[in-house]
């Protein structure tokens, strides 16, 4: 028999499964544990809808804008509760969810809660859920595959760091602002340590459009290796480097491991040491790709000085970043006006942490302060490539009634085709000061 603490400490959320179904017997045993959970005044007003029919799961994805993960997992459990009192409903349903997650682990099944399940009204229509029921969440139920079973444990905060005795104490916390100058290096590390692992190792945690990716590949194809990529974060751009030696430098061991999942030998991932005068290795080219937007002036200045000290004569530092004076920056400003100053209200926090498009002149000034004196830049994408992704996210957000903007099917309608056509005509051609993305080259 498994020890209770082993069950608690070995439970993890996974998103890759074996094709074998979870037996009805196991599902029923898990739900037998669920109904042992406490409820408000012992009302036990929960309901559990078990879904193992592929057609029903497909309806949830297509008609209710549900999470595309539903297609890959064998069984779903929808947890609802009588919503006569919404606060009580969420309390009672959540207590049952906790029991389900632990019971599943006990029986050797992976269970993960999902709140991006789609539009409530459409989910209720597909599943025949009456109006008086509140949907707490969906739970994926599947047998983890080898990748999921071998994934390293997710880092957890210590109980001491989040425990307050008798009254709320002032403990370290992230500033939750867009401006990177409000964030210390340690706060960035804490954000990346936990958010880079919010799904599965190797998942791309950037929202670059296909043309922005193509630009990176085009810029680097004629550059000299070995390469050193700074703050790779998820390794998503490493595959766009020329086929030569590439090393990456990340803020934490967790992000380095995240990057390492996408690398092929002889590429290596390391942890950044801000105290050293130089960076690592003997690179001919150092890159900072769509990361300068996330760094404070002091951190960026330090990186630039270390890069200069590391490069040989004739070596280059390549910075690719989205620009402040552009249509892309206008979009970010609109987000702040709509959702407020707390960056957690937007998807930007989950993917980037702090985020502020760069001023090219300011970055060039920092580079000159770091002793670079041969600096040039050019702009691309007067119409931002990112808008290709943005439109798809907006459509998903609307269709899911605010439940999600990711985990979506691509919508191929007139607007999406028009955006693709406009981007194709624009291509990778230079657009100078109108460009939403800047490529800055600093040669030693």
DSSP annotation of 278:
S
- DSSP label of 428: T
All CATH 3.40.50.150 domain ranges of the chain, comma separated, are 181-443
pLDDT of residue 442: 98
* Residue 139: per-residue pLDDT: 97
For the chain, the C-alpha Rg in angstroms (whole number) is 24
Distance, CA of 239 to CA of 217 (rounded, Å)? 9
* Lateral strand order in the sheet of 75-82: 46-51, 75-82, 133-142, 110-114
So what's the pLDDT on residue 386?
81
Which homologous superfamily does the CATH classification assign to the domain defined by 181-443? Vaccinia Virus protein VP39 (3.40.50.150)
- Superfamily of domain 4-150 in CATH is NADH Oxidase (3.40.109.10)
pLDDT of residue 263: 67
* Rounded Cα distance, 140 and 150, in Å: 19
Task: Report residue 30 as tokens.
Answer: 């898990």
Quote the pTM value.
0.87
Q: Are 62 and 409 in contact (CB under 8 A)?
A: yes
Which sign, positive or negative, has the C-alpha torsion 113, 119, 124, 130?
Answer: positive
Among 327, 332, 320, 326, which residue's Cα sits nearest to residue 363? 320
- Residues 150 and 410: their CA atoms lie apart, in Å, by 31
Cα torsion through 355, 357, 361, 364, rounded to 10 = 60
What does 146-193 look like in DSSP terms, one character per residue?
A: HHHHHSPPPP---TGGG--SSS----------S-GGG--HHHHHHHHH
Q: Is residue 115 within 8 Å of residue 134, measured between CB atoms?
A: no
CB 372 within 8 A of CB 308: yes
| DSSP code for 224 | P
Inter-residue contact 399 to 331 (CB < 8 Å): no
Could you tell me the mean pLDDT of each successive run of 10 residues in the chain, 444 residues long? Answer: 86 88 96 96 96 96 93 96 95 96 95 94 97 96 88 84 94 90 94 77 75 93 93 86 90 87 72 92 96 96 97 97 88 87 85 91 97 96 87 87 80 89 90 93 97
Tokens of 21: 């179904």
Report how far residue 99's alpha carbon sits from residue 101's, in angstroms, rounded to the nearest whole number: 6
Q: Where in the chain is the domain with CATH 3.40.109.10?
A: 4-150
pLDDT number for residue 216: 94
- pLDDT recorded at residue 266: 53
In this structure, the strands spanning 75-82 and 316-322 are unpaired
Tokens of residue 101, six digits: 């997650």
The DSSP letter of residue 52 is: -
- Residue 267 confidence (pLDDT): 67
Which two three-digit tokens encode residue 413?
């309608």
């Amino acid at each position: 028999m498994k020890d209770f603490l082993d069950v608690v400490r070995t439970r993890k959320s996974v998103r890759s499964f074996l094709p074998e179904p979870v037996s009805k017997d196991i599902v029923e045993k898990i739900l037998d544990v669920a109904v042992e959970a406490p409820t408000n005044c012992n009302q036990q007003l929960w309901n559990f809808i078990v879904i193992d029919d592929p057609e029903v799961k497909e309806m949830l994805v297509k008609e209710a804008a549900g999470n595309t993960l539903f297609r890959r997992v064998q069984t779903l459990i929808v947890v609802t509760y009588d919503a006569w009192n919404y606060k009580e409903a969420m309390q009672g349903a959540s207590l049952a969810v906790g029991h389900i997650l632990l019971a599943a682990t006990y029986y050797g099944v992976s269970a993960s809660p999902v709140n991006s399940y789609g539009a409530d009204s459409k989910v209720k229509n597909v599943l025949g859920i009456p109006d008086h029921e509140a949907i707490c969440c969906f739970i994926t139920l599947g047998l983890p595959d080898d990748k999921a079973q071998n994934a390293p444990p997710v880092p957890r905060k210590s109980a001491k760091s989040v425990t307050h005795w008798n009254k709320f104490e002032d403990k370290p916390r992230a500033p939750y602002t867009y401006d990177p100058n409000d964030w210390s290096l340690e706060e960035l590390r804490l954000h990346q340590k936990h958010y880079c692992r919010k799904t599965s190792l190797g998942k791309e945690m950037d929202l670059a459009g296909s043309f922005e990716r193509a630009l990176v590949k085009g810029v680097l194809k004629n550059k000299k290796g070995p390469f050193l990529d700074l703050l790779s974060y998820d390794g998503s751009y490493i595959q766009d480097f020329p086929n030569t030696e590439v090393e990456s430098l990340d803020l934490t061991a967790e992000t380095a491991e995240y990057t390492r999942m996408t690398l092929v030998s002889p590429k290596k991932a390391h942890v950044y040491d801000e105290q050293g005068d130089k960076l690592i290795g003997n690179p001919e080219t150092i890159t900072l790709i769509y990361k300068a937007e996330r760094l404070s002036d002091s951190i960026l200045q330090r990186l630039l000085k270390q890069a200069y000290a590391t490069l040989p004569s004739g070596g280059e530092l390549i910075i690719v970043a989205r620009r402040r004076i552009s249509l892309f920056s206008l979009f970010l400003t609109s987000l702040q006006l709509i959702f407020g100053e707390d960056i957690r209200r937007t998807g930007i926090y989950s993917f980037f942490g702090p985020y502020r498009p760069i001023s090219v002149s300011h970055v060039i000034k920092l580079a000159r302060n770091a002793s670079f004196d041969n600096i040039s830049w050019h702009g691309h994408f007067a119409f931002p490539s990112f808008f290709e992704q943005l439109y798809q996210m907006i459509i998903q957000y609307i269709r899911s009634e605010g439940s999600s903007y990711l985990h979506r099917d691509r919508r191929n309608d007139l607007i999406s085709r028009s955006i693709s056509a406009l981007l194709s005509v624009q291509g990778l051609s230079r657009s100078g000061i109108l460009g939403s993305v800047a490529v800055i080259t600093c040669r030693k």
